[in-house]
Amino acid sequence: MSDTLELAKELISRPSVTPEDAGCQALMMERLSALGFDTEPMNFGDTQNFWARHGSEDPLFCFAGHTDVVPPGPEDAWDSPPFEPTIRDGLLYGRGAADMKGSLAAMISATESFVKKHPDHNGSIAYLITSDEEGPATHGTVKVIETLELRDEKIDWCLVGEPSSTEKLADVVKNGRRGSHGCRLVVKGIQGHVAYPHLARNPVHQAMPALAELVAEEWDQGNEFFPPTTFQISNIHAGAGATNVIPGALEVLFNFRFSTETTHEALEQRVQEILDRHGLDYDIEWTLSGPPFLTAAGALLDAAQQAVQEIMGYSTELSTSGGTSDGRFIAPTGAQVLELGPLNATIHKVNECVGVEDLDNLARIYERLLELLLT
């Protein structure tokens, strides 16, 4: 059993359902301390985080990730217990195997191998690990970054171990992510009896033309790195549960996934202009999960592409698709940020798994990346 596989199994066996860490970070810090890393717990609220650093010089390369996992759901739906790592047919099964304890194990074993070979490497290596990526993400990476910014500790290059691959390991590297901007809209009406509509004001009827316009709107055309911005209604609710009552309010939840061609402020302004043009009486509440970010070119991207080519024997594709990641908190500091990890086919699913061979190859890619950047 390789060091990477052994550590991945140890991490998976700890039921770290967000925001719990279940001892995963202590295990990682112990391994890093043995290498000479300075480890620093940074806990906020109910979230455990740590920052670890080897070296004091620039440039600073950072591995970023999370020890928390989503709930496994009914255990009897799994072919083997979700927190009992099990190998079948060359695959390691368990909650977090792909998202992202496999990546964490590969990071540690790659770092151990690299530092032992290059104890006096150029620059510095750091780890930024949280237990609140799968949850609200309010006391995790964002808080650690705030702390680092206050003491002017800057990350130059950051690799996030999110499962970026689709068909085979490292066939896709995420060099950016779309922004996510959510909204809760309440359109106000006047409740009444359906037989006397002249004595009421139906917010559903009033809102429909405006919502149809929002759905049909072209927000931008995207660019070479990002698809066009999308608008999706995720929930509509109104009424008292009776067919003979005109509702007094309509609640609509919607979300933008937006490109670098626009901003969250511009989207808010355009939405409110449409609502106002339709004469609606409304309250609106916005929640920005994160702006878009892009690492279009530079040393990190060049090294990642070269490492994948050398280790796997094929080129990787750049993509900005998918949801959000903690990269959205790191990129605004000026860091180059990439996501490179295992296949994402089983993440958040029953029988989540990762290829055993993929774990070892991922560690080799990570180690080669360190060599290209820091030697």
Residues with a known catalytic role:
68, 133
43-to-47, 212, 234 alpha-carbon distances in Å: 6, 45, 33
Rounded Cα distance, 18 and 47, in Å: 9
321-to-129, 325, 326 alpha-carbon distances in Å: 23, 11, 15
CA angle, 66 then 70 then 73, to 5°: 160
The residue written with tokens 């770092």 in the block is 111
> Is the separation of the CB atoms in 122 and 56 below 8 Å?
no
Q: How many CA atoms lie within 13 A of 150 on its CB side?
A: 6
Residues 6 or more apart whose Cβ sits within 8 Å of residue 108:
4, 7, 28, 31, 32
Integer-rounded Cα radius of gyration of the chain: 24
